Chain A
């Protein structure tokens, strides 16, 4: 078989007699070739081969399975039973989950072959994949640049054609921003659409698992497999799901809102140019563009970094060296000495910074001024989006204000790093679904992403519009020529 391949191409090849084992071997070989990108924490060679062989040996059982034999990479903060799951942290370097995330079980029930666990920012905190305890991932389009984060390994692995699809997780843009920076498609579903059971918690009111793929159709195929109510996650909801590939009619007709005043400052001119050119394509395909206002969207970054760090400081309290993960600590100093020595040794700088910030905004005397205030402004941001969606079906923005930046460029300036999330965090604060699709390149051949945000549970609409856009463009077919400085 030849790579790159989409799920559709692989399905055709396998219907034509190609074995799941052959597809798996080709992918494993490709993963080996892209090793300098550092996209994988763990490659599951034995497990993937055994699984592919099992699928080949029982064609009757798997003939109608939508993802039979399709290789997929999984972000390393999503639990895989009996396979090391680290969240790219020293804290969980040797953690072997006793269960799989619901999303993994559903992918496997649909026939997918999990081939490995991808590198990410530590505990999914970062915007560049540079906070990983196992080193940064490199951008396949320019190896001295970041792939984005936090699902940087998943996006880079797909962009470099090592795998057709991958799972990521998105708390403030962690699927969409790396997808934009690596030139692939990434979808954050509506909060509650996909079970979070088995996702290592970061910001529990913001986190969602979602797909990264080369095409909108592939993202739709993966969403179809993982969506739906799960009794193990009380926040997953009982909303009808569908075969989202069937929503892809090629019809771009829709009212699309454009928050122009939000885009006036702080956007790289080349990103702006690609974005407005994409709007022209949508318009020529039948979309109606409408100017909208999102008056509180400019407060989304401070609100996000208060709410998400507050939730993270609480979620990460569980890493105390008792039940799982690292234990460090002095022989003396008792239980608390062990806790703090473990947390000092196990967490990296960004995770500590966020735990500190979150603890501060929740602490007595500061709670009302920061945390409560941020939750109130979160309501105002939701109301802005509710009002906009009274008149439009989707809202268009660039996914990220700049293309991929250089490794190391922002690591010493956390605030600068946070500001890059300006267009992505609102979808998490509001819970709305949002997709990033490739919409052009800069002069240095760095990809640019177009983001479409939809109504709650309106994945079908944004997938349809994104797919119609993709059919009119060739950006998504571009692939990087890998050049490694060994």
Chain B
């Protein structure tokens, strides 16, 4: 294991009793990345995030976060990690400036000054009580608090769940503006694939505990081919073994892993492969996938 990566996992499996949540996966997260962790409910996203912050032991394999063993060196790890769990709750009775004081006492690498500066971006004021804030404002407050920790890795589990459009936009603007500096990385799990597609540098897709895709967005454009085609070409397209065939706004579409042996230009129009389509193609039920895959 090296210092090059902020997260390194080798042959990692996570189990709850007899149930396997994460099944023998390997990946690295380098610095300066925005990594999307995608998966349906029960795919293993939250288990993986728990393991990353030392809340769940690995049943097999090796895991290093910021060069530390998350389970055995949890205290040291949490001192330098920015983490918002999926059930993030800030104490409702607390005032914002009290939370900042509390964080200063708990987190050696927390900067109260930076937290106040970050909050100036939002409509949250230091004298507000948590219970008077909207859900969107609480989430922004939480982001400001964890972004004020001097760390190199942020872990966000479904950070914008239940927020309206404007709050989600504000959240991601703050994340890009105040966190992504080319050195620090962030791992975000979400269901809202379409919405964060352009924010990501990399994507990891989990399906039933297996890592079915781990790729940069740049590689997606060069590796996968999406074709919008004439319905009359359906047979030829099917014979070329697409990963997925589907309809988009009434238009017949096909997604291929690699360049298919087809005269694409005569069959239709080549389009940008979207993350949502790729996600659907790679994480459908095995019996459905078996019929559409090579």
Q: Determine if chain A interacts with chain B.
A: no
List residues of A whose CB falls within 8 A of some B CB: none
